């Protein structure tokens, strides 16, 4: 399955297979992260989401189809992941993550966390736990109301702009005196509309692929 990747990276493939990645949120960003992590050879993956596939997901979420509308996202992803790589070790949590239950997820051995959820308080708690436990984190900021994927980049959250999610997280990091770098995927593009959150297929997908790129290249550098 990974023959062509092994030509590219050699024996580092075994190192990739040994890692465990937690992905919280299986929407437009998180879905493409899961897809590309699995196809890149990550051997252990933990997925978390409590939502079902909705017709409004069809424009940007890779797992969504007319045939599975109403089904649980974690169940649809389990089928897809196992169909790509039957040998992968998969743990799924059908749950809405809060401060009260997040500890259950982090009882697992985790090498990397991808935060692709939408809830500010959950994002804050993910940062706190990853900083405390020295777990490598990449977190997605907002991709709604954006049209230009070339404006996306990976940076420390302190260098973000035009992002209301990042603004709230920057304040929390400052208030709690967190000194660690908090790496995020963020767009420098000004929102195209106000009030509603519009989306298009290719911006969240690129953000999700960036998350995988960040993780795989970090593993290869180790």
The pTM assigned to this predicted structure is: 0.97
Give the C-alpha separation, 197 to 85, whole Å: 34
**Bridge partner residues of 138 (DSSP):** 114, 183
Give the C-alpha separation, 14 to 163, whole Å: 37
Angle between helices 28-40 and 73-84 (to 10 degrees): 20
- The CATH code of the domain that includes 71 is 3.40.50.720
pLDDT tens sequence for the chain (222 residues) = 999 999 999 999 999 999 999 999 999 999 999 999 999 999 999 999 999 999 999 999 999 999 999 999 999 999 999 999 999 999 999 999 999 999 999 999 999 999 999 999 999 999 999 999 999 999 999 999 999 999 999 999 999 988 889 999 999 999 999 999 999 999 999 888 888 889 999 999 999 999 999 999 999 998
For the chain, the domain total comes to: 1
Per the structure, the complete domain to which residue 187 belongs is given by 3-221
**Bridge partner residues of 139 (DSSP):** 115, 184
Tokens of 143: 């991709």
């Amino acid at each position: 399955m990974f023959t062509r990747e092994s030509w590219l990276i050699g024996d580092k493939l075994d190192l990739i297979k040994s890692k465990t990645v937690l992905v919280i949120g299986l929407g437009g960003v998180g879905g493409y992260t899961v897809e590309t992590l699995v196809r890149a050879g990550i051997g252990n993956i933990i997925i978390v989401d409590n939502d079902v596939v909705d017709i409004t997901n069809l424009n940007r979420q890779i797992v969504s189809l007319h045939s599975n509308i109403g089904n649980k996202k974690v169940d649809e992803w389990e089928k897809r992941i196992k169909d790509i790589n039957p040998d992968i070790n998969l743990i799924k949590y059908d749950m809405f993550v809060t401060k009260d239950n997040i500890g259950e997820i982090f009882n697992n051995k985790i090498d990397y966390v991808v935060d692709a959820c939408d809830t500010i308080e959950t994002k804050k708690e993910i940062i706190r736990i990853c900083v405390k436990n020295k777990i490598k984190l990449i977190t997605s900021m907002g991709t709604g109301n954006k049209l230009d994927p070339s404006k996306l980049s990976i940076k420390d959250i302190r260098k973000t702009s035009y992002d209301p999610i990042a603004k709230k997280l920057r304040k929390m990091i400052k208030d709690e005196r967190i000194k660690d770098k908090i790496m995020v995927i963020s767009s420098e593009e000004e929102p195209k509309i106000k009030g509603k959150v519009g989306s298009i297929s290719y911006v969240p997908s690129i953000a999700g692929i960036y998350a995988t790129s960040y993780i795989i290249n970090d593993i290869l550098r180790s």
